[in-house]
Amino acid sequence: MEVSSTAPNFPVLGIVELEDLTLGVFQVKQAVSYANEHVDQDGEFEILVSTETEGMLMASIQSKHSNRKVYKAIITYNSVTALEWACQCPNGNQAIGCCSHVASILWYLGHARYLPSSTTQRCASYIDAFIDAKSAPSSSSEASESDDETLYSLT
């Protein structure tokens, strides 16, 4: 999604406003994780904005508990706040607050897209920090052939 042009009337939301909408800090903390995992390799967060109904959008967010489950979340909004939301997940239509899927969309569109990109990073991107154990230097420069305490060795 092109951040600057997608849902241009979506309200800017501070952390306190997000906590008010989600009724606490838990969903906001979960939202960061869900949103960062939803961002693809190109840094895009796919959200479908209705061309027929102003102030309505939808996104498909993958469950953190099951790779096979994807939930559709719908949000209506105006330039001041999010008005209504629903999600297909088991907690998505609760009477108060919202689920983490909805919270991730609120957090991303209302807050994170205005932050420098260096503040958001996918968890999957940390894999680049790991190296192959075979190429790692040995902890001791001299290996003893009679080292009976060796539990593992690289071959």
pLDDT at 127: 46
H/E/C letters for each residue in 65-94? CCCCCEEEEEEEECCCCEEEEEECCCCCCC
pLDDT tens by residue, 89-128: 988 887 688 999 999 999 999 998 888 764 445 445 444 4
Burial class of residue 63, CB neighbours in 10 A (0-12, 13-18, 19+): middle
pLDDT at 36: 79
pLDDT at 119: 45
pLDDT at 120: 47
CA dist list (Å): 104 to 21, 50, 143, 147: 12, 19, 51, 53
pLDDT at 1: 44
Is the pTM higher than 0.85? The answer reads no
Residues with pLDDT less than 70, the chain: 1-5, 43, 95, 117-155
